[in-house]
Amino acid sequence: MQHYPDDQTWWIGLMLLAPEQRGQGLGADFYRTFERWLVGQGGRSVSLCAIAANAPGRQFWQRMGFEVIRKTPPRPYGNKTHEVYVFRRTLPVAQSIQFRKEP
């Protein structure tokens, strides 16, 4: 999703890997590729949420450079109640390549 809370912020709604595929660097590779695409689209930041009970997921996103910007109070989600961490990462600015003319 894009354009919340501004035109240059994107949100990751869900990223899942099969349990047997985890811990092999696939999630990090996918995210880095996605981030490069976002930068090319003019994105300036990306946000996401992770439930407090998902410590490995929260640690993954922190390794990817995300910072916690807030934690929600417990809320019902289906038949469970969760606290949710909201993360944000400021994206690198796209660099344009400039060529110098040789004299």
Model confidence pLDDT, tens digit, residues 78-94: 899 999 999 999 998 86
- What is the Cα–Cα distance from 92 to 44, expressed in whole angstroms? 7
- The predicted pLDDT at position 92 comes to 87
- State the CATH number of the domain containing residue 77: 3.40.630.30
Element (H, E) at 60: helix 55-63
Query: What distance separates the 2 farthest-apart alpha carbons in the chain?
Result: 71
Closest among 54, 53, 57, 46 to 9, alpha carbons compared: 46
pLDDT in tens, 16-70: 999 899 899 999 999 999 999 999 888 999 999 999 999 999 999 999 999 999 9
Band (pLDDT 50/70/90 cuts) for residue 97 is very low
Domain count, the chain: 1
In a domain, 42, yes or no: yes
- The predicted pLDDT at position 101 comes to 61
Report which DSSP code applies to 24: S
In a domain, 63, yes or no: yes
In a domain, 83, yes or no: yes
Report which DSSP code applies to 17: -
In a domain, 100, yes or no: no
Band (pLDDT 50/70/90 cuts) for residue 103 is low
In a domain, 61, yes or no: yes
In a domain, 40, yes or no: yes
Domain that holds residue 67: 9-18+25-90
Do 85 and 58 touch, CB atoms closer than 8 A? yes
